[in-house]
Amino acid sequence: MAAEIIPTESTTPGETDPAFVLHQGGKLEIRSTVPVRNKDDLSLAYTPGVARVCTAIAENPDLVNDYTWVANTVAVVTDGTAVLGLGDIGPKASLPVMEGKALLFKQFGGVDAVPIALDCTDVDEIVETVVRLAPSFGGINLEDISAPRCFEVERRLQERLDIPVFHDDQHGTAIVALAALRNAAIVTGRELKDLRAVISGAGAAGIAIAKILIEAGIGDIQVVDSRGIVHEGRDDLTAIKRLIAELTNKAKLKGGIEVAMEGADVFLGVSAGKVPEDVVATMAPNAIIFAMANPDPEIMPEVAHKYAAVVATGRSDYPNQINNVLAFPGVFAGALSVRATRITEGMKVAAAEALAAVVADELSADKVIPSPFDERVAPAVTLAVAEAARRDGVARR
């Protein structure tokens, strides 16, 4: 069921609301990269000159990367079912977000992106539609597709396509969270292997964070959903949660968030649930709290700072913003630069390591992650992802 949106002054179009003023006419346009000033230009850009290029590509399909926009263009694909904090608002209402995502791809990574909002929510239909659109793109960025369908859509698309498929709600969040946690561990005098983390939320972001932390060597993790700690003894788990149960919770804990939080070193929040202060108070000394729900963190920074040495949120008005824009532009730029066939776990970890290294010489409790406007970020992530793609054997050049 679509989320009910109650009209307010801020959501009513008007000349005085700066958000509506900015969005008037949309945020994107298509521009030519070549001049068409006379008939000679026209004959090269279109017929008859274009026919020679088409024939060459027909004979050698790989040339599409050299003579079209494919090599630097991704599709930003959604079905509008999990848009920001608004929920299932449908494909048309999702378009301002998808345009915004495309704008960020270009601004921060130099990657061209095309918003595609699909009027369907069936996994089979989404997969078949994207597969048919794929020849026009060098990569697919899945966006705001609700869990658990998003896992299946991504998996099946990557099986069918030889270009990167990346669900940013999962992996972008995970990359940035890992980068910040690496630096937070340093600030507090520890290593990842020393830490026990609690992840509140077992949706797309929570599952992806768990996976990347395991890949990076975290000590232990308890993933907590609306029914409590995800463990192997539960009979209500989806397939992806069963996998997470097998990979996490070495301590064999059972119960709710209050059980998981007692003595925990790290809290990573990617859910709408609030954590009471008396539960936060049971965390280990020198704790690390990343409360990333927007706009209202699971633990407000004013409370978190009473018990934690390092605090991060998803908001821009507090230090240490966990923002996906730190990851996805460079990840795709790096993957596209070597014509990678997929984005591997190794590429994601490499992106996180590169992101963490950007501020390695500037670390403090209030600076464990770069600003989204730090111009060092995208080049560092791009290079690291390209090198990792070569190491992992998924680069084609």
101 given a catalytic annotation: yes
Question: 165 — phi, psi (to 5°)?
Answer: -120, 125
Reported pTM = 0.91
What pLDDT is attached to residue 12? Answer: 58
Partners of residue 290 on adjacent β-strands: 268, 312
Average pLDDT over residues 192-201: 96
Q: What is the CATH number of the domain that holds 57?
A: 3.40.50.10380
107, 232: one domain? no
Q: Is residue 224 a contact partner of residue 218, using CB atoms and an 8 Å limit? A: no
Q: Which of 39, 101, 193, 241 is catalytic?
A: 101
Q: Single out the residue in 163, 198, 222 at which a domain terminates.
A: 163
What's the pLDDT tens digit per position in 364-395?
A: 999 999 999 999 999 999 999 999 999 999 99
152, 209: one domain? no
294 labelled ligand-binding:
yes
Alpha-carbon distance of 210 to 229, in angstroms, equals 13
257, 274: one domain? yes
The yes-or-no verdict on residue 258 having pLDDT over 60 is yes
38 labelled ligand-binding:
no
Q: Is residue 178 a contact partner of residue 213, using CB atoms and an 8 Å limit? A: yes
What pLDDT is attached to residue 245? Answer: 96
Share of the chain above pLDDT 90, in %: 88
119, 254: one domain? no
Residue 9 DSSP symbol: G
pLDDT band at 323 (very low <50, low <70, confident <90, very high): very high
180, 229: one domain? yes
Residue 191 lies in a domain: yes
274 given a catalytic annotation: no
235 labelled ligand-binding:
no
Count of domains observed in the chain: 2
Residue 14 lies in a domain: no
Residue 15 lies in a domain: no
What's the pLDDT tens digit per position in 202-249?
A: 998 999 999 999 999 999 999 999 999 999 999 999 999 999 999 999
What's the pLDDT tens digit per position in 161-185?
A: 999 999 998 899 999 999 999 999 9
Residue 298 lies in a domain: yes
Q: Single out the residue in 128, 163, 198 at which a domain terminates.
A: 163
Alpha-carbon distance of 168 to 170, in angstroms, equals 5
Q: What is the CATH number of the domain that holds 335?
A: 3.40.50.720
54, 98: one domain? yes
143 labelled ligand-binding:
yes
Residue 306 lies in a domain: yes
What pLDDT is attached to residue 295? Answer: 82
Helices (H), ranges, the chain:
18-23, 39-45, 49-59, 64-67, 91-109, 123-133, 149-160, 168-187, 204-216, 239-247, 257-261, 277-280, 301-307, 328-337, 345-358, 377-391
Q: Single out the residue in 131, 163, 195 at which a domain terminates.
A: 163
The yes-or-no verdict on residue 326 having pLDDT over 60 is yes
137, 94: one domain? yes
pLDDT band at 3 (very low <50, low <70, confident <90, very high): very low
140, 195: one domain? no
What's the pLDDT tens digit per position in 38-52?
A: 999 999 999 999 999
219, 346: one domain? yes
63, 202: one domain? no
69, 135: one domain? yes
Residue 65 lies in a domain: yes
144 labelled ligand-binding:
yes
Q: Which of 27, 46, 106, 306 is catalytic?
A: 46
349, 379: one domain? yes
What pLDDT is attached to residue 7? Answer: 46
Q: Is residue 155 a contact partner of residue 126, using CB atoms and an 8 Å limit? A: no
What's the pLDDT tens digit per position in 66-122?
A: 999 999 999 999 999 999 878 899 999 999 999 999 999 999 999 999 999 999 999
* Domain with 334 in it: 168-397
